[in-house]
Chain A
Amino acid sequence: MSDVLLKVSGVSVSIPTGQGTVRAVDDAAFSIKKHEVFSLIGESGSGKSILGQAIIKLLPPNAVFSGKVELDGREISALSEKEMQKIRGKTVASIAQNPYLAMNPGLRVGTQVAEPMRAHLGLGKEDAKDRTRGALKYFDILPPEVREREYPFQYSGGMLQRAMVAMGTAADPELIIADEPTKGVDVLKRRNIAAIFQKVASEGCAFLLITHDVGFARAMSDRIAVNYCGQILEIAGKDEFFKEPLHPYSKALLDAVPERGMHPIPGSSPSMIDVPEGCRFHPRCPHKTKSCLSDPPVVEIDGRYVRCWLYA
């Protein structure tokens, strides 16, 4: 088999609401190679979390999904919930944004970290306990014999985040989907999360990082996808992307980062219900032309993908 781990093609998700249908994800296509750290960056409300949920089939019940998700050459978007449960936590693990909300407050941390091992690797109680201690120790949760018997509220935020990573990696997944791991976290803790992720990634685990933190994505990833208003506008290798972003939105987004002088993007993000026709960025784009009123094509330039008429 090729070295492609996850292949997402033509995925669209729409969610009917009282005000109209939200087209949260529109025609998303990308692939993640084995051992690769892939970042999906974009502003809040651009549909990046929904795309992450769509991959592991944890969408809200009223969401309408179309498209194809392949994991290791096997189509998982058509699997039943029962089969999906065998994949979640085993091959693909997800790490949620807020560890206090994601962990069960009434179960000991050790039990929760051991759960994926017991469920997916079929380990007995004692074996799982040994491995849990090893995992806690690996992530600097010391001493593991004491810490495994504690409850989430007894942990500090950073430590619980590490415990959650320990739980996510417990069954040796091939891909970890991390949704906004650095939101609302100060610089020192953010750096620590980056250090832990790097540690896990160095052991060969692929990552899909969903984040709005451009600096974090830059420090961590091999390739970057830019999401805007439900569409992926650009996919590029990290170095090329930060050296020379192609899409006007990517350029504007990078210019808004404090390191580059915080230049605001004119206008405001469009509503996801009433999206602009054609290119979704055209009302705010400095390079807009008449052709921007029709849907832009996805152009491939030296292995990079960009959805813009400028390069067509």
Chain B
Amino acid sequence: MLKAENLHCVYSSGLIKTVKNRAVSGVDLEIFPGETLAIVGESGCGKSTLAKMLVQQLAPSSGEVFFEGTKLTGMNWKNLRNFMGKIQLIPQNPDDVLDPKWTVERSVAEPFVLCGGFSREEISENVDALFAEVGLSVEHKPRYPHELSGGELQRVVIARALALKPELLVCDEATSMLDVSVQAFIVAVLKEIQKKRGLGLVFITHDLEAAKAVSDRVLVMYAGEIVEEGKDVFDSPLHPYTRALLDAVRYVSLDVVLQEDDRALPDDFLGCPYFRMCRERTGACKEPQKLRDVSGRLVRCWKV
């Protein structure tokens, strides 16, 4: 359904002494209808940048995104608008995307108003249906964002994202700010909607257990690159980084405090991005690593 080819994103800052920061480098991915793809990695590994590029909020430095065969990158925004409703982003913090001075009803109705062609009654019916779909009651409608709890706000954002019948939802850490019980509730809501509407779901998170619980396929990112991709990544991790992440989740070997990664590899370093932190590194890791297919799993490590 959605396909990304060789996506790169470079943030540069400073006018005279330009500092370039490779946030995402060379990501290829494909999402199929009705599938849940989890993207996991620590903070700062480029997950959110990737999400923004997938939903066309950010133009990639190079690379292309296709939606059902149509190239989205480089399209002018008039044509792009036709696709915007089909790919929706659910951000981490609902406060960032809801207008604090609008009632949540008005926020959810906004996509219909922007699209045009709906009468007032139709809009109100649609909004009611959306509220019911995400498990909010009618009494929530006239309230303002500050009057709702985090879980309720996240449901409002989901309702709005569903308004234009999207085919793909990209959830960028949509549950990581919430409590476990609320998290479970939001995930249940998303899963139910996915089942009913057959949507594709991209679930970006740093919580591996949550990723394992919701996803069909997992993609592990480190320093802007995919290091491992496949179906049962968590049962038999192959890349040393995936193993380190899993150990961290299960609190294995707590007697060692891991050294902080300053990630300041030289600009011309083309080898494995995990080189500094890896406990199994050798000289051969300084060579560029390719994603290789190891019995149906893509892994970026020559040792496997």
List A residues at the B interface (Cβ < 8 Å).
43-45, 139-140, 156, 158-159, 162, 184, 186-192, 194-196, 198-199, 212, 214-215, 219, 252-253, 255-259, 261-265, 268-269
| Centre residue among A43, A184, A262, A263 by max chain B CB count within 10 A | A262
**Is B295's beta carbon under 8 Å from chain A?**
no
Cα(A189)–Cα(B182), bound, Å? 23
Which residues on B sit within 8 Å (CB–CB) of A269?
149
Instruction: Judge whether B260 and A158 touch: CB under 8 Å.
Output: yes
Instruction: Judge whether B257 and A199 touch: CB under 8 Å.
Output: yes
Query: Which residues of chain B (153-191) have a CB below 8 Å from chain A?
Result: 176-177, 179-185, 187-188
Instruction: Judge whether A187 and B206 touch: CB under 8 Å.
Output: yes
Name 28 interchain pairs, CB-CB below 8 A, sorted by A.
A43-B180, A45-B149, A156-B260, A159-B260, A184-B176, A186-B43, A187-B206, A187-B207, A188-B42, A188-B245, A191-B247, A191-B249, A191-B254, A191-B258, A192-B258, A199-B255, A219-B251, A252-B181, A253-B181, A256-B180, A258-B184, A258-B209, A262-B184, A263-B184, A263-B188, A264-B181, A265-B181, A265-B185
Cα(A258)–Cα(B43), bound, Å? 20
List B residues at the A interface (Cβ < 8 Å).
42-43, 149-152, 176-177, 179-185, 187-188, 206-210, 212-214, 244-245, 247-249, 251, 254-260
Q: How far is the CB of B136 from chain A (nearest CB, A)?
A: 11
In the complex, the chain B residue whose C-beta lies closest to that of A141 is B260
Q: How far is the CB of A158 from chain B (nearest CB, A)?
A: 6
In the complex, the chain B residue whose C-beta lies closest to that of A196 is B257
Q: How far is the CB of A182 from chain B (nearest CB, A)?
A: 11
In the complex, the chain A residue whose C-beta lies closest to that of B214 is A262
Which applies to chain A's interface (DSSP): helix, strand, loop or mixed? helix
Which residues on B sit within 8 Å (CB–CB) of A256?
180-181, 183-184
Cα(A261)–Cα(B180), bound, Å? 11
Instruction: Judge whether B254 and A187 touch: CB under 8 Å.
Output: no
Cα(A198)–Cα(B256), bound, Å? 10
Which residues on A sit within 8 Å (CB–CB) of B257?
139-140, 162, 192, 195-196, 199
Instruction: Judge whether B208 and A268 touch: CB under 8 Å.
Output: no
Instruction: Judge whether A259 and B248 touch: CB under 8 Å.
Output: no
Q: How far is the CB of B45 from chain A (nearest CB, A)?
A: 9
Instruction: Judge whether B248 and A188 touch: CB under 8 Å.
Output: yes
Cα(A214)–Cα(B214), bound, Å? 19
Q: How far is the CB of B38 from chain A (nearest CB, A)?
A: 11
Given contacts A219-B251, A262-B213, contact A268 B149 (CB under 8 A): yes
Given A186-B206, A219-B254, 13 more contacts at CB 8 Å? A187-B208, A188-B244, A188-B245, A191-B247, A192-B257, A256-B181, A257-B180, A257-B209, A258-B210, A262-B184, A264-B184, A264-B185, A265-B181
